[in-house]
Structures are given as structure tokens and as C-alpha cells.
Structure 1
Amino acid sequence: MMLKAVIFDLDGVITDTAHLHFLAWRSVAEEIGITIDEDFNAELKGISRMESLKRILRHGGKEDAFSDKQCLALAGKKNARYVQSLASLTEASMLPGIRELLADIRAAKVKTGLASVSLNAPGILHALGIASAFDFCADASRIICSKPDPEIFLAACEGLNVRPEEAIGIEDAAAGVEAINAAGMLSVGIGPGLERAAMQLCSTRELTWNRLTDFWTSRTVSIRNS
């Protein structure tokens, strides 16, 4: 079976805006009397904005303290602060090796997709100067179920017109790896604690086109011989 698509998460795979998310959430949380740290923020990786807010409120014992309208306002305030901070992103903000990998994938005539729950993903890709490197970006605003549900990866496959079993998904969060696996794709995890990924790498420096194709070939041969 040929590899037809590589589908990326955004934060922690293409660029790292986790700290910008943390600063925005921390400032909003402080205003409502909740303290969060970066360890807690790590639990929000790959989670939608509203789900992140729910977890923060639960963490602070205020899960039922705000109406739906107030929660939307809090989430909107966080996003406004986060979007403002994105002005600091440049083409140099991409993680090591990603620009080269995208170029190699394009040269191999394999499709590229984005499966990020960030509503700001299109703007981030433009800030990084790589919007044209992606054939399809799943629309996070149309996704009902957050990762680990596979919905966004399945949407990316559909948008690229490939079957999930013809694609590799790349993630840096456990929820994202679970989503890739549940979609029926081959999963690559970037960073520690992602043992459920079919291939786990320490950083994007190890994420090369040769490594991905060797991995794909070895897995498909293994499946064929099993």
C-alpha cells in the first residue's frame, strides 16, 4: 500500500505556541481566582478551547460557577490575548526540520494535511509562511468531538480524498495519538510519554522524510506478512 498523505498536528509539531497558550490561560484564570502552572497546562495539549476552560474551572473548584454565556466570554478573552501574542511568530518560529520535511513531502508528491483543533491555525500557518505547503486543513470550527476522538483526523483524510489507512498522522499529545490510532492511521509521536504511538521520536529533529518512508515500508511489510 502506498503512503498517500501525512497529516500534522500544529502546536508542538510544526511550531510551539504552548507557552503562549499558557500565559493567556493563566491571566484569565487569575482573574477568576484560579491558579494554574505549566504542569497543569501540559494536560491541555490537543484539547479544544472550551474543553480547556472546563478543565481549568474543574481544577479551581468552580465548574458550576459560570453560565454558558460567561464561559464563552472567558474563552473569548483568552483567545484575544493569545491571538495578540501570535504577533511574535515569524518564519523562524517553526520547529527544527519541519520546513525541510514539508518540502520533501511535496517533492515526493504526497499530500499534506493539518488536523489542529486550534481555530487560529490558518493565521499561524500564514505567520510561519507555510500556508501553501498544506493541501487541506481540517476546519476546527466544524469539529464536534475533541481529540482523542478521531473526528478531526477523519475530516482531514476526507478533505485530502485518502483513506485513513493510507496516511500517517503526527502528534505531540497523548490525546492526539489516540485520535490517530482510532482513525485507523499510522501514528508518529513527538516527545515523551507517547508509548501508544506506532513510532515515537524525541523531537522534530528526528522527523525526516526518509525516516517516515522507512517506517511506512517496514509497517506495511509487517502487516502483509502477518
Structure 2
Amino acid sequence: MGQNLADLKAENYVPDVVPDSDLEYFETDGQSRKIGWGDTPAVLVVDMTLAFTEERPEVGEPCVEANAELLDAAREADVPVFYVTPTAPGTYPDDYHGTTKTSSGESQKPEAERAEWNDKLDTIAPELEPEEDDVVLPKPRASSFFDTHVGNMLHYYDIDTLIVTGMTTSGCVRGTVVDGQSSNFNVIVPPECVADRSIISHEMSLFDMSMKYADVTPLDDVIEKLDEYTKATVTADD
């Protein structure tokens, strides 16, 4: 018996705008679409800098709050935390494409405006300030894995499960999730911990990731799972 539409909707992130005709394509032979967790998770926080979190506060502020809650749980469980931040527009020549096709030409702005923007690009939201043992790496493109040492660092820590959070859902988060799955990590995305300038892009990107690349898992469930790692660590120490 196949996994029916009701089961798909209950188990996966399915926005109301997705028609049943699309969901029928994703029906299975009864197997869950969930990837599941491995033994060694880490959190990867993508571009949670003031340039993004303050750009649209109605989505940025709740995302910051959710990330703070997740990071508290991760650190309690002794789960490694990694951050990636964008590369400032003036890093490359004017005709060199930026992270997206809309980010080139930033160097044409007045110097004071450009300096303020670059500072916001570099500054992680204060509520999510990295701690001493956290790893912070810059990235030149949308994916956290492209031309960075993120993959090497994750393998160094023997990570097999990656909890991806940040902004924006349809851009750098999605690029990171696709490359994370391509690098053979089990990828988990708490929907409360990601945000986007565009609501429809946010919703449909989460749906697409849920169907193809990641387990889109509510924050409460992720924290509950991290609590299991905390208890396991305490038991092992005893």
C-alpha cells in the first residue's frame, strides 16, 4: 500500500498552495520519505547576520529567536556549532558576480553606505553570538560548501547529521542543504529556524527540500532529539 496524500502531508512540510496532483508524484510504496538522524549531529547557521535579520524584521526576528532556542539545546547536548557568513561585495572586481546575480555592483554605492552594509554583512545577530569553541567561516557563494573548508571541518569532527538554519531559505540555505545532502550528510531543517524575504519562496523551498534533500522537522522535535543526545552523553560519562 502506498503512502497516501494524507500521510505525505502529515509527515512532510507541505504548504497549502501545493496541489494534490503534485503530491501524487511523491507518493511512495509505503516507505517513509524521512532520512533520519545519524550518531553525530552538528548545527550549521547560515548568514544570520544583521544584513539579513534586519532587512525584513517580521521574518528575521522570529528566526533569530528560534535559532537562539536551538543553539541553547545544541550546546547543552555538546553538539558542535558552525557559522558561515557572506563575503562583502567589495571583495571582488565590480564585474565579478556576487553571491547572487543581484549582488554585483554594490561597490557603486557611496562609501559610507557601502561600509555600513559590509559591517552588517559581517556581524552575526547579537542573540546568536558565537561562543569560543564555535567555528565561523566566510563563504563566497550561496552554498556553505562551495570554495570553503566547511566540509573538511565537518568531516574532522566526524559529523554525519547536519542541522541547517539561517537565511535565506530559497538561496543560501537551500544551496547549503543540496550540497550537504550531496556530501552524504543527513540534513535536518527546522522550519522555524530559516527565513526568507519572500514568503512564497520560503514555503516552496521548504517543500522542495522536504521532498528531495532533507527532513524538514519542527523545532520542538529537533530539540527533543538533541535532548536524547544530552541524556546519552550523561549516561556515557556515568
Using structure 1 for the length normalisation, give the TM-score: 0.45
